[in-house]
Structure 1
Amino acid sequence: MTRVDPDALGKLLANRRVAVVTGTNGKTTSTHLLTAAMRAGTPDGQFTVVTNADGANLHHGIASALGEAPRSTIACLETDERVVPDVIRLGHPEVLVMLNFSRDQMDRNFELKSLGRAWRLALEAAGQDGPVIVANANDPLVVWSAQPAQRVIWIDTGAGWTQDAALCPACGAALARKDGQIVGGGSWTCTGCELTQPPADYRVDGETVVEKDGTTWQLQLNVPGRFNRANAACALAAARVMGVEPAVALRGMASVSAPAGRFAVGTFGDVKARLLLAKNPAGWAESLALATSDPVVLAIDAIAADGRDVSWLWDVDFEQLRGRTVVCTGPRAHDLAVRLTYGDVEHTIEHDLMTAISSVKNPANSVKNQGTVDLVSTYTPFQKLRKLGGLA
């Protein structure tokens, strides 16, 4: 389509109300949550709202999704970080959700600040016609990138990952946090300029979202984890910008359970496995906290969709798996095994995905998680596992 008509994406975005979700981690789940919220709040539901539900978030994937629903009046789009400026320019979105920045596919994205600068310049160029921004107030690079926007709704996500936010994106000085440490939890401020964490319009507090006026909304999600409660808070704020009442939005979000296979349980022969996607250190930190089974299977590859640079393995706290049975699988299983060896984590290696999962049937590897093994995977093995497990 885009080869025949290079302007196809702009034409397909025209005459629609557009909501965009972007960031390093959480794009797919947040887009599913926001789409469900908007479908719950529109009379024609899925026929009115088009989305790229499987996460194809580059130019061609977005054009393909829009082309399949030319009459849909609302588009809720997961958008790769590099594509955001083009979608702002071509689609004039009403709302843009900016989730987070962390190291991901370093062979492709290089310095994170270059991505943030591109967002910032796109918002400057959009001016008064730019989108309302729903932004993670805990991420300094997101805050700096969102500064030119005419209106920003700040979300205190309570984010736990701070290892990619040691320096101020505005001036380069060290960032300080409320506990006095450069890396740690809590609010942040720059030691060299005026950039600081803005006051929140919404705050995640356990299973609830609290507005700045004290109004609380109870989350009833069917996706696990602290990070998904943060995703839901961002989706709730964006849905309100799009005109959906909070109670209706929350009812819609409760219907999301396995966005594009994430957190779904597949059947692999005689073994049931819950699939957890993790693509970078921040994602692995969240996923390993959810992976409670013993044994646990870890799958890794390093082709284009995963990022060819696997040096990030050394930034993941695999030491928390000590004392459990770990099975390494996927084409780059040996890279993972080296990291686990240095972390004193006992493990076995089986390159074939099905064989690796089947190996947990060994009586010595009893599955304790109600008969379901947790399987944490990078992107490419994850897509294969969805098919092998009957989930795609």
Structure 2
Amino acid sequence: TKKNEKHCWRKVILRHHFCIICICAFVYSFSAVPGPCDPEDLIDGIIFAASYLGSTHLLSERTPTKSARMQQAQEAMSRVRAAQKQAKNRKKSPDGEAPSTVEVDLFMSTQRIKVLNADTQESIMDLPLRTISYIADIGNMVVLMARGKMVRSRSAQDQLDRTAEHHTTMSHDDRRLYRMICHVFESEDAQLIAQSIGQSFSVAYQEFLRANGIDPDDLSQREYSDLLNTQDMYNDDLIHFSKSENCRDVYIEKQKGEILGVVIVESGWGSILPTVIIASMMHAGPAEKSGRLNIGDQIMTINGTSLVGLPLNTCQSIIKGLKSQSRIKMNIVRCPPVTMVLIRRPDLRYQLGFSVQNGIICSLMRGGIAERGGVRVGHRIIEINSQSVVATPHEKIVQILSNAMGEIHMKTMPAAMYRLLTAQEQPVYI
């Protein structure tokens, strides 16, 4: 039957210009890419039959855990099902209008995921593969989660007004949140769909290598490991932390009931000691008036409490709790706001091991040459080999990094600090 035919994979003679944002670390041959599909089919594109149930928006932290992602997927399913139930009730009234389930063809390739009306073949949505951040299959349901823009759930003034009320915890609304668009589908092939999308990412990376004249089979895991064994760890922190003059105790005097007057951000995943950095200081506030703190300083302890390894919101809560005190002792490491990175890449066959989205480092392979060079997740790239990339388009940054060899020098800083320094965001002092 026509419906059963829709559940068969159909090859589509449709190819697109290939572009990928990741500069990943490991390489596989097509035969080593796990998944249910023939890689060549994924390049051309395959189709699954499905029913489109609806979409919803969720607010999410930038890097939620896998369990949090699954909870978000379940929440999206619940919302869409509730909307369908309300739609059925509205249809009972003469003027009731509500969207119904739509039979669709779910087209996927190494570049994009398209949702086509099964009857008319009109495009309902077109999602570049790189925008998909999570895929969940739950029973016969599939949830595609696509990244959106950062939002603020509360105004900066609201957050300032509430600093005196919450000292030990930070509510979900106080965190920097990102909008996630969740698309919910139903299909007998739900698990295959999820596995095929995951396989598409791996095949897409191999196509990227070939497009740049690199044969994935030329570089083995052993060769990459041998390269790592010849490289020393380079990180600006090693220099600063080894010098006693950069580590100091600082005492801040302030009035009881007065905030410290700082903005802190994470040092970034990949730093030697994960802690928080002073990103901004309130004009004429206690921190600035002391003359003992600078932008870029890393805070090790406050009144004897270590901040090393603590989540950002916990560190913020500790600082908020200082409002009732008149004298604060801080142990800091004096560091410049800009991090110096040095990646040693002898040949283009050796991939860098991190990914970039609009100039911001969004993932890092543990133990790769990028981590050894001082690359940190959450940092914005300011310069590459003395060339400013602040206003450089994303595709150009990827091209520069992909073709860079030898010693690659970069300057980076926490993206949140960069937005504050360039007045893209208003500071919320604590």
Q: TM-score range by the shorter chain?
A: under 0.3
**Greater helix content:** 1
**Higher strand fraction: Structure 1 or Structure 2?**
2
TM-score, reference length from structure 2: 0.22
Relative contact order higher in (CA < 8 Å, ≥ 6 apart): 2
Instruction: Kindly name which structure, 1 or 2, has the bigger radius of gyration based on alpha carbons.
Output: 2
Per the normalisation by structure 1, the TM-score is 0.23
